[in-house]
Structure 1
Amino acid sequence: MLRPIFSPWALLLSGSSFPLAVAARSFAKFSHLEASIAHSNNSTPPYVPTYNVSLPIDHFNASDTRTFTNRYWVNDTYYKPGGPVIFINFAEGTVTPAGIALTLAEWTGHHTFASAVMHLSKQLNGVAIGWEHRYYGYSQPFELSKEDFPVGGAKDYQYLSVNQSLEDVVCFATKHIHQAKLKDNTVLSNLGPNATEILHPSTTPWIWVGGSYAGNLGAWLRLRNPEVIYAVWASSAPVECRPDGSAYFNNIYRATPSNCTADMQAVTRHVDSLLSSTDDSLLSSTDDSAKHRDAVGKLLMHPITYIFQGCGPSGTIHSFCNYLEGFDVASYLYHHRSSNAHDATAGLEVGLAAYLHALWRHNADISPMLAAMRTHSHPNPRDAYAWQWQSWTEIGLFQTIDPASEMALGSRFLDYGAARRDFVDDLPNRVDNSYVRQFGGWNMQPSNTMFSDGEFDPWRAFSVTSQDGHLGAPERGVTTEIPKCGVSLEKGSDIFGIVHEGAVHAADLGSYLYPVEQQEEEESDGVYKNTTLDGLLWPPMFERAGALFLRALKEEWLPCFEEARGRVTAI
């Protein structure tokens, strides 16, 4: 069966709880914010009603009548008849109360927060719906053991696929929501018992908002079922699914000072040479030396694990580099003189000492945040097991190291074999991503879709805005010129959207807002400039992307939806 996702080295360091070789999950977008909510004692979050819908376990086998219960949430605070459905799929993670408070109620307990979903709902008089992905959280098709693994074994994961999960949303939108009695939602209830009838996608536009894998799902569903999902905001969506995800580290390399990357590469090569020597004393001469090499390699990668994609370079790799480059070499040499002080390897040994020192200091800085994220955001291994399955069967993007790449920052031992050793024999021998690749990957051309990316997002290498031409990316341009409704982009054409300077993963889907008097402090880094609105500072990624998407909806796409139905838009 699948092994627990928590590896000893990660627990020892209080670091990332997910092996590097597997595609990092998108929870890093909000998990540090969820942790802050968990520590807040201020009042009670607004109530967002939770509902359940019964869905087929297998949508594509009419003889299989088994069903399971899937959770969803509805906030109708800003809804007026005629307004759209603003839909967010929480994708590869349990939907927590903190996540709902942030995303569907804009509540943290102590700061003003803005979420893209609720901002759009307010501006468009829409109803917001949050969706839990099958096999994650409490939307489980099969009984789980006390270890959070399906009682029936790995075979129970056979219905965890992109196609099944997309059909879940289609089924919900076309067969359920217009018949749902959302009795716990005040606005809809006051409109009468049949208020939800007009929420069918044939009469109400469904607008998808999602980041990372959820962004993929939105873009894929717009291509697969344009009659269901009318428009999409796909933030940081790595739609170019392939087994090799080593390019994940390219943008981390680009965001890191060159002197630091040179030192990191030198130390890593030195450690690799030690690990590949015939003397296994470094590995305690165990019979499991391959796994020990994997562990050492992961240890060296700790500064650039998934926290970079959520926190950016200033709080991760730049902090590590400051410790690395500021290491007191003279003091170290004074206390560690030996007979081989002038040996050719002495410099590399000092470099390794500096690296380990920086690793220790950097880890001490981030451990409280990581502990809070691990404790409050991800209580169940079930999510990790499910994402293992999706990664190994369909998504791929394993964060391995390509030693031939000039941007490689990790050990050459973190290869595909290391990825495989982290997991299990029950998984398929190869990734079959034929289904998701039919949507076009880097070359996908969905209409009514806005793509947004962070300049230094590690996942940008696999998004439609990728500039990694050496991997085969077409290096498409990015434009803010709004496409006409329903018109697919031409192959190789520019992408409609935005790339945020200096930003990382899904940075535009939600953010804290601060009083105007904090503007000078917030702008001190010279990178992020804020927009003042309603007496609050709106971070530029959120404000710019939200404004662009709203303009596309109001000026082009929503009027087109109404005209096609013989109606005049009131927006």
Structure 2
Amino acid sequence: MAFLLFLLCLILVIFTVTTMGVPNIPSLDPVNRFLKGQTDVSKIVSSDFQEFFYDQTLDHFNYRPESYTTFQQRYYINYKWWGGASNNAPIFAYLGAESPIDDALWSIGFLPENAPRFNALLVYMEHRFYGQSNPVGSMEAPNMVDAMEKSLENPDTRGYFNSAQALADYAELLLYLKNQLQAHNSPIIVIGGSYGGMLASWFRLKYPHIALGALASSAPILYFENLTPPDGYYSVVTQDFKEASQNCYTTIKQSWDVIDQLATTPSGLAYLSQKFQTCSPLSNADELKNYLKSVYSNAAQYDAPPNYPTARICQGIDGASDATDILDRIFAGVVAYMPGMSCYVTSPEVVSPSESVSQTSIGWEWQTCSELLIPLGITSEDSMFQSLPYDANVFIDNCVRSFGVGPRPHWVTTYYGGQDIKLILSKFGSNIIFSNGLRDPYSIGGVLENISENIVAIKTTEGSHCLDILSSGEADPEWLVKQRKDEANIIDRWFAEYYRNFRLL
């Protein structure tokens, strides 16, 4: 049951791969979609959640006629524990990220699990262009994937698809809700994980008059150019596997050359296709290598207890140590991670046999090809992966090829900051919790040390991506239980100070 609960928390990540040898940017999602279909645990969404749609402004920053166009932004409210506007009871607002908001209703448990303590209203808001909040409505596209594709085909429409517009959406919607509920003095805490955690921290900095504080879980706000070394992500992946098993690490490190050598032989690709039970014949070695890289990276990013995925893969590899063929051992590790699959190693545009191209894979490619350019590369000789240094020019060229425009590498740090973050935020920032699990490769770009008394970093050695905001389980280790309690206690102090100042004023 504990393993099933673990898998339940692993539904929303997409690691797109490419045959061009350029490292893609792993999706920043609280939970993991790579194992979709691998669990029979049902998604249970409380009937206390009510669905609403808001006529959201398309363009918050211009006054052209088209800027006044609106679209339907979806959000959910749970009134079950709310103490009411008359008591100035607080509001917990979850900021949706690069996926439909639906899954957050059952997977993000920090809000409903702490709502009774604070008598809080729960609001879950969907990010523009994802889910049912796409400016290209159902009348223009038959489903959400088609709507995303249609949105990005139009250079004018996709120009409204960025984090600044999304934050303005959340600001406008939250002010609207406070007005509608007559909750003018109810303090708001914004909560998000991964990219949503970045949004939460940025929201507190950009809209301090709306949000009293922010919980930013696994938010790599420093993983941009000149702030974090490009090889940081894959260095953490390597370390996770080394800690799981030195033999496993060595086997993986040695496997890449074997794949390359086989692929150059006349029947090598056919042999590899058979060996790895691919869903379709391999057309080149990169398809297999990028798939394996995604499997390993995914396992490290979501390396959560009680059944750590890196350990599972290594148990599969080490357990097949009697096999003379190194690729048999590698495949045994893949099967140990994803048992019961009918086939493996899908084509570049497919994440798993159960899911083809998705809203997230399409939308995330645009976001990382416009403003969220996270430099990833592999340079360390100690890495379990083949060398692939980050080349900004190659990455930009690929983006231009896909969208006709290139990224703005320095815009995020220009608009939100990041340089000298401790010096700057200690002067004017407050009430942000940055939480990270150090097994998460993205933690290398997170805030890992306290910036001030009210901008705090909570890190766990055994933790991974966004564990603290996911739904709790009976098998949760003590350090995870403590982490969640510490975060709730910090928020409690924020509320106590707010209500004390409110009474004085």
Q: Given the two structures, how large is their TM-score scaled by the length of structure 2?
A: 0.76
Q: Secondary structure at the match of 2:81?
A: coil
Give the Cα separation in 2 of the matches to 1:269 and 1:61. Answer: 53
Contact 1:450 1:497 in 2 (8 A): yes
1:247 aligns with 2:232: yes
Aligned to 2:385: 410
Aligned to 1:75: 78
Contact 2:48 2:80 in 1 (8 A): no
Task: For structure 2, list consecutive stretches of 5 or more residues without a partner in the other structure.
Answer: 1-11, 18-22, 271-281
Report which stretch shifted further, 543-552 or 306-315: 306-315
* Cα deviations by residue, 1:112-148 (Å, 9 ceiling, x for unpaired): xxx2112332111111110000000000112454434
Q: 1:368 to 1:151 in 2, by over 3 A?
A: same
* Cα deviations by residue, 1:10-42 (Å, 9 ceiling, x for unpaired): xxxxx9853144333344526599979975499
Aligned-pair distance for 1:478? Answer: 4.8
Matching of residues 187-226 of structure 1 within 5 Å: 196-198=181-183, 200=184, 203-226=185-208
Aligned to 1:266: 254
Aligned-pair distance for 1:72? Answer: 0.9
Contact 2:222 2:446 in 1 (8 A): yes
What one-letter code is carried by the residue in structure 1 that aligns with 2:25? A
Contact 2:370 2:407 in 1 (8 A): yes
Aligned-pair distance for 1:424? Answer: 7.3
Q: Secondary structure at the match of 1:86?
A: strand
Contact 1:455 1:499 in 2 (8 A): yes
Q: Secondary structure at the match of 1:483?
A: coil
Aligned-pair distance for 1:308? Answer: 3.5
Contact 1:442 1:462 in 2 (8 A): no
From 78, 84, 88, the counterpart of 2:94: 88
Give the Cα separation in 2 of the matches to 1:353 and 1:102. Answer: 35
1:141 aligns with 2:135: yes
* Cα deviations by residue, 1:57-113 (Å, 9 ceiling, x for unpaired): 1111122211111011111111112111111012110122x532444xxxxxxxxxx
Contact 2:413 2:419 in 1 (8 A): no
Aligned to 2:418: 441
What one-letter code is carried by the residue in structure 2 that aligns with 1:551? N
1:177 aligns with 2:195: no
Contact 1:302 1:359 in 2 (8 A): no
Q: Secondary structure at the match of 1:61?
A: coil
Aligned to 1:529: 477
Give the Cα separation in 2 of the matches to 1:351 and 1:164. Answer: 49
Aligned to 1:150: 150
* Cα deviations by residue, 1:338-378 (Å, 9 ceiling, x for unpaired): xxxxxxxxxxxx4345334444554436789999x9799x8
* Cα deviations by residue, 1:379-401 (Å, 9 ceiling, x for unpaired): 98233211111111111226x54
Q: Secondary structure at the match of 2:132?
A: coil
Aligned-pair distance for 1:245? Answer: 5.2
1:48 aligns with 2:8: no
Give the Cα separation in 2 of the matches to 1:328 and 1:30. Answer: 29
What one-letter code is carried by the residue in structure 2 that aligns with 1:388? E
Contact 1:297 1:410 in 2 (8 A): no
Give the Cα separation in 2 of the matches to 1:232 and 1:152. Answer: 31
Give the Cα separation in 1 of the matches to 2:295 and 2:39. Answer: 26
Contact 1:457 1:503 in 2 (8 A): yes
Q: 1:179 to 1:33 in 2, by over 3 A?
A: farther
Aligned-pair distance for 1:436? Answer: 2.0
Give the Cα separation in 2 of the matches to 1:430 and 1:280. Answer: 39
Contact 1:442 1:463 in 2 (8 A): no
Aligned to 2:9: none
Aligned-pair distance for 1:48? Answer: 1.0
Q: Given the two structures, how large is their TM-score scaled by the length of structure 1?
A: 0.68
What one-letter code is carried by the residue in structure 2 that aligns with 1:459? Y
1:427 aligns with 2:403: yes
Q: Secondary structure at the match of 1:197?
A: coil
- Percent identity of equivalent pairs: 19
Matching of residues 290-439 of structure 1 within 5 Å: 292-312=284-304, 314-329=307-322, 332=324, 350-360=325-335, 362-364=337-339, 381-397=358-374, 400-402=376-378, 404-412=379-387, 425-427=401-403, 430-438=406-414, 439=416
Give the Cα separation in 2 of the matches to 1:457 and 1:433. Answer: 23
Contact 2:235 2:383 in 1 (8 A): yes
Contact 1:241 1:433 in 2 (8 A): no
Give the Cα separation in 2 of the matches to 1:118 and 1:179. Answer: 23
1:228 aligns with 2:210: yes
1:457 aligns with 2:440: yes
Q: 1:46 to 1:280 in 2, by over 3 A?
A: same
Contact 2:95 2:125 in 1 (8 A): yes
Aligned-pair distance for 1:261? Answer: 1.7
Q: Secondary structure at the match of 2:68?
A: coil
Give the Cα separation in 1 of the matches to 2:94 and 2:186. Answer: 16
Aligned to 1:19: 16
Aligned-pair distance for 1:281? Answer: 7.0
Q: 1:167 to 1:312 in 2, by over 3 A?
A: same
Contact 1:16 1:370 in 2 (8 A): no
Q: Secondary structure at the match of 2:483?
A: helix
What one-letter code is carried by the residue in structure 2 that aligns with 1:552? I
Q: Secondary structure at the match of 1:234?
A: strand
Give the Cα separation in 2 of the matches to 1:51 and 1:216. Answer: 25
Q: 1:272 to 1:422 in 2, by over 3 A?
A: farther
Give the Cα separation in 2 of the matches to 1:497 and 1:119. Answer: 22
Q: Secondary structure at the match of 1:364?
A: coil
Larger Rg: 1
Aligned to 1:184: none
Q: Secondary structure at the match of 1:508?
A: helix
Q: Secondary structure at the match of 1:60?
A: coil
* Cα deviations by residue, 1:205-253 (Å, 9 ceiling, x for unpaired): 1101111111100111111121111111111111124268542222221
Contact 1:78 1:122 in 2 (8 A): yes
Aligned-pair distance for 1:269? Answer: 4.0
Task: For structure 1, list consecutive stretches of 5 or more residues without a partner in the other structure.
Answer: 1-14, 104-114, 181-195, 285-289, 333-349, 466-476, 490-495, 515-521, 523-527, 531-539
Q: 1:87 to 1:117 in 2, by over 3 A?
A: same
Aligned-pair distance for 1:299? Answer: 3.4
Q: Secondary structure at the match of 2:371?
A: helix
Q: 1:168 to 1:38 in 2, by over 3 A?
A: farther
Aligned to 2:104: 99
Q: Secondary structure at the match of 2:237?
A: helix
Aligned-pair distance for 1:554? Answer: 2.8
Give the Cα separation in 1 of the matches to 2:364 and 2:105. Answer: 21
